[in-house]
Structures are given as structure tokens and as C-alpha cells.
Amino acid sequence: MRDQVELERTQAAASSRSTEGRLGALGEALLANRPAQDRAEQMMLYGQFLGSWDGTVVVHDAESGRRESTCEVHFGWALAGRAVQDVWIAPSRHARGAAEQDRMYGTTLRVYDPRADLWHITWIDPVRQVFNRMTGRKIGDEIVQEYRNEQGTRCQWRFTEIRPDSFHWISRDSTDEGASWTVRVEFFLRRRTTDPSMTGTAAPS
């Protein structure tokens, strides 16, 4: 019996070390320290958001009304600097209540296409089982991403009011080809300046 317990402990320790090794190799292969040199200037469209952000997400629902939650967002270089990857989480892991569960925990992969001079963007959220593909580009002082949903509705995700320490993100859609728009979701985000895990709360939004 004692030998069996010792064997299980040894196997568990080996499994843990193996998992840590795989995650380390994955992180090294996936993440990057800088943009790819052959497209570095263009990569800064989303590269300007590198780092961590905290704030509030507001959902506008015609049936249940306005709902708010804390949120956190993290941006980084990926795939040898040829992509920007980010993670969007709500409620924020550091500001949620003890009984709160993930309502959003998704990632975006943003890949610049030098030939077309636009971005190919894929959003995946396993919590809500949402999967979107779209294109993005700079229009004026904003970043506009656009796609059509399964019903053919024109959908836009916009980065607006962009400043070094804050930005406003909007999801909206139009059933009349842009003559009018309905706002569905908004994120109000500020750049994180402190580690919320040290205080137990997120940075102020």
C-alpha cells in the first residue's frame, strides 16, 4: 500500500513537471518580444495596446436592459511578432465576487496582411461559444473591424477615443446597411499601472 501511494506521488510530480515544461515551450513559441521587422510600423495599429487594461463592460440588452461588469484585457505580440493576441475576461479575476463565474474568457488573434494592407481577425470565446472572423483597418482616428453574422447583418467592432492610457470599444450592428446602428456592447478601459493581485482589486476604471 505504501509503495502504491509513493508511486502515485512520483507520477503526479512527474506529470506536473511535464505540464510546466509544455506550457513554457508553448509560451516561448507563441509569444514574442517585438513586432516582425518587415512590418513593424503597420503592427503598431494594435501594438499600441500592448499591456494590461482594466475597466467596465456594459451590455445593452433590449429585453433585460443595461448590465455592467468589471473586466480585464491583455495584449501581447505573438507568432514571431507577425500577430497581436489578446485575452478579454469578464468579470475581472481580481474584482469578481466569490460566487461569480466567467461570463467571458476569450482571445483574439490579429494578423496583418501586407499585400491587402488590412488585418485578418479571429475572436474565440469558449464560455459563450462565440466564434467570429472579420477584417480590420484604421479609419480616421478609429480602428474599425467588420463582418456579417449568420443572418447577414452588418456588424462592427470599433476602437475609439484611443489615448495612451485609455480607449473605448464598441460592438454595434446594422440591419439597413449602415443607415442606423444599434450598440450592443461597450468596453471602457484604462491602462493598468499597478498589479491588482497585490491589492486584491482591479485598477480604477
C-alpha distances (whole Å) from 113 to each of 42, 80, 89, 187 are 10, 15, 27, 27
What residue spans define the domains of the chain? Answer: 1-32, 34-198
Distance of CA 8 to the CA centre of its chain: 38
Give the model confidence (pLDDT) of 112-143 as tens digits: 999 999 999 999 999 999 999 999 999 999 99
CB 43 within 8 A of CB 50: no
The DSSP code for 96 is: S
Q: Which architecture characterizes domain 34-198 according to CATH?
A: Beta Barrel (2.40)
Question: Which runs of consecutive H residues, i.e. helices, occur in the chain?
Answer: 2-30, 40-47
Give the model confidence (pLDDT) of 42-87 as tens digits: 999 999 999 999 999 999 987 778 999 999 999 999 999 999 999 9
pTM (predicted TM-score): 0.83
Question: Which runs of consecutive H residues, i.e. helices, occur in 114-176?
Answer: none
